[in-house]
Amino acid sequence: MEVRTQYVVAGLARRVGLGLKQWVLSVQDYVILSWRGVNALFTRPIYPREITNQMDSLGVESLPIVVLTGMFTGMVLSLQSAASLDAFGARPYVGRLVAVSMIRELGPVLTALMVTGRVGSGMAAELGSMVVTQQIDALRVLGTDPIRKLVAPRLAAAIVMVPILTIISDMLGIFGGSLISVFNLQLSWAYYWRSVANALVMNDLAMGLTKPLVFGFILASVGCHMGLQTTGGTQGVGLSTTRSVVVGSVLILSSDFFMTKILLLVFPVT
Amino acid sequence: MRERVARVEGPARERRARPREEPILAFRDVRLSFDRPILKGVSFDLAQGTTKIILGGSGSGKTTILRLILGLLKPEEGSISVLGAEVAGMTEEEMRDIRLKVGMVFQEGALFDSLTVGENVGYRLAEDGLAEDEIEDRVREMLGFVELSPFFDRMPSELSGGQRRRVAVARALAARPRIILYDEPTTGLDPITATTITDLIVKVRDLDGVTSILVTHQLRDAFNVARTFMLKKNGEFVPSVVDDMSVLEGTEFLMLKEGEVEFEGSPHELQESDDPYIREFLS
């Protein structure tokens, strides 16, 4: 019995050790890939056509989901906050609450999560199928660095387009909130927008625009990393796609907490 | 019906009868293992203008040899000399110059799905910054060589398995490589389509004079490549088959068994071998 227990414990320890080793190796590969990807953005050769294509597919094609997400989030935020603010007779502050919540937190996070689901997974699937069909090897054989050709343009596109999508989402969220305030909460149009304008300060914008830069980098680098790590044929592509969404989303949400902590120190709420 | 000839004459023979003394590619005691040993001390030479056909069962290390030549994998021990340069310790950047002189045809073509056939074939030339008309001329020439001229604007997804591999051959040849590597180019193809691919390999060898390595486990296709030659008839080159193995020149077989070289020699020597593994493989 004792021997059997020892055997089971040894087996478990071996598996945990192996899992830990693979995790550390994966993190190491991710860091190297991210470093080389960023480095490739500032050294030749650069592929402007690839960057434009990625901006189109990441940015322009993500507009509908970002518009819908932003608008409905602002609307529901307006409804929910009115219910709470009424308890203190503070309904006129709905505009202020919607604007600050959207710009500081919900706009950046929800946009990043939506783009991760749509584009990060697509990056993992596309690069993953290129790995399993040997197209990545073919690129290397034809003298092209896959990181320059495939990873760097995706990073550039995400770092530029996620902040732009976030601004659009913020604007539509605040606009959605105004619709509910006017038609459902009986607040005047002018009062709502004055409340929004009074609430916003430069610190909010600084925080609201710093986060999407980092989120864009995370979603693209995780998507590319998961895609390039694909093994095991088409089944592996499916796994990479799922992992890219899970890891990307968790990283975005956890980094959001730490960034908020740091940004509140840098840009304190006045 | 192919013409059957007793011996090889003409440009094919001239080109293949002049191997230089210095090998264009050499493996010396190359070892590599992942979770198990893949190559256990493989050594061989490839002379200029010749073809080496690497045979072996699944997992014998055939494809690994091609990946090592291109620097897609690095050996743990041993040396690999390609066109006079030692590639075992080269960085990715240093490998670029070697890769520009070595073409590779992947197992299922590995064409870029997002590019047209023409863009695939001209990919390397475009990367090198050649003028557009120059690229188009070269691409059309290459597509003509593999008899796929009308497919210039098609997408790879519109091609059959055999057509994809012919485009892959055109892409590998576009930058005029000195060595071309074929990784199981006939796997998964029906016998007739497989013959069009082996004829193309022969055409590249005899008309372009490119040194080549063919990795395959399909014996029929391997012997087809060894026995077929492009011979001029009525002003046109046609594939012709030599029946007598003992007169074949310029093609060598290398058989791998569990990461070791089990046999190296001419087609005739392979056919006459008494080695039980080879007999079983050939049967």
Where are chain A's structural domains? 47-266
Cβ <8 Å between B124 and A134:
no
Q: With an 8 Å Cβ cutoff, are B111 and A135 in contact?
A: yes
pLDDT tens-place string over residues A155-167: 999 999 999 999 9
Q: CB–CB of B110 and A138 under 8 A? A: yes
What span, in angstroms and rounded, lies between the C-alpha atoms of A68 and A63?
9
Q: Take residue B84 and report the two structure tokens written for it.
A: 């006079």
Interface contact B111, partner A, CB < 8 A: yes
Any idea what the CATH number is for the domain that residue B21 is in? 3.40.50.300
Cβ within 8 Å of A, B 171-190: 171
Which residue of chain A is at minimal alpha-carbon distance from B105?
A138
> Euclidean distance between the first and final Cα of chain B, in Å?
26
How far B180 CA lies from chain A's nearest CA (Å)? 12
Tell me the nearest-neighbour CA distance from A133 into chain B, angstroms. Answer: 6
What residue numbers bound the domain in which B59 lies?
Answer: 3-282
Give dist(CA B124, CA B122) in Å, integer: 6
pLDDT at B260: 84
Give A77→chain B minimum CA distance, Å.
Answer: 42
The beta-carbon neighbor of A143 closest among B72, B99, B171 is B99
Q: Which residues of B touch A49 (CB under 8 A)?
A: none
Digits of tens for pLDDT over chain B (283 positions)? 566 665 555 555 554 545 446 788 888 988 988 878 888 888 888 888 888 999 888 878 888 899 999 988 898 888 998 888 888 888 888 888 888 889 899 988 899 998 999 999 999 988 888 888 889 899 998 888 888 889 888 999 998 888 898 899 889 888 888 899 999 888 888 888 888 888 888 888 888 788 999 998 888 888 888 888 877 777 777 777 777 766 667 788 888 888 888 888 888 888 787 888 778 777 7
Closest chain A residue to the Cα of B112, Cα to Cα:
A135
| Closest CA of chain B from A248, distance in Å | 26
Chain B neighbors of A231, CB-CB under 8 A: none
- Cβ(A95)–Cβ(A197) under 8 Å? no
Q: Is the dihedral of CA B118, B120, B125, B128 positive or negative?
A: positive
SS (HEC) of B156-214? HHHCCHHHHHHHHHHHHHHCCCCEEEEECCCCCCCHHHHHHHHHHHHHHHHHHCCEEEE
| Contact flag A143-B124 (C-beta cutoff 8 Å) | yes
B104–A140 C-beta distance less than 8 A: no
Q: Which residues of A have a CB under 8 Å from any CB of B?
A: 129-130, 133-135, 137-145
pTM over 0.90: no
CA angle (A114, A116, A121) in 5-degree steps: 125
Cβ–Cβ of B124/A135 closer than 8 Å? no
- Show the beta-strand stretches assigned E in chain B: 3-5, 25-33, 37-46, 51-56, 77-82, 85-86, 102-105, 179-183, 211-215, 228-233, 236-242, 251-257, 260-265
Q: How far is B70 from chain A (nearest CA, A)?
A: 7
Chain B CB contacts of A140 below 8 Å: 70, 72, 92, 99
Residue A1: per-residue pLDDT: 59
- Interstrand relation of B102-105 and B37-46 (parallel, antiparallel or unpaired): unpaired
Residue contact B112–A135, C-beta within 8 A:
yes
Which residues from chain A sit within 8 angstroms of residue B82, using beta carbons?
Answer: none
**Average of per-residue pLDDT across A121-130:** 93
Find, in chain A, the residue whose alpha carbon is nearest to that of B171.
A142
ipTM of the complex: 0.84
What is the domain count for chain B?
A: 1
What pLDDT is attached to residue A22?
87
CA distance A172 to A50: 29
Could you tell me which residue, B188 or A78, shows the higher pLDDT?
A78
Q: What is the pLDDT of residue B17?
A: 46
The 3-state DSSP class for residue B72 equals coil
Mutate to test the interface with A, among B91, B96, B102 (most CBs of A within 10 A): B96
pLDDT the model gives residue B87: 87
A260-266 average pLDDT score = 88
Contact A134/B108, CB-based, under 8 Å? yes
Task: Pick the residue from chain B with its C-alpha nearest to A45.
Answer: B127
Mutation for testing the A interface, residue in B97, B98, B123, B187 having most A CBs under 10 Å: B123
What pLDDT score was predicted for residue B199? 85
Nearest to A144 among B110, B127, B171 (CB): B127
Question: Within an 8 Å CB–CB cutoff, is residue B62 touching chain A?
Answer: no
CB pairs under 8 A between A and B: 44
Contact between chains at A142 and B124 (C-beta distance less than 8 A): yes
Task: Give the three-state DSSP class for A103.
Answer: helix
Residue A239 has a pLDDT of 92
- Residue of B110, B127, B171 lying closest to A134 (CB–CB): B110
Torsion angle (degrees, nearest 10) of CA A219, A220, A223, A226: -110
* Contacts (Cβ under 8 Å, ≥6 apart) of A202: A267
Candidates B70, B107, B113; nearest CB to A141: B70
- Rounded CA separation A243/A231 (Å): 13
pLDDT of residue B1: 54
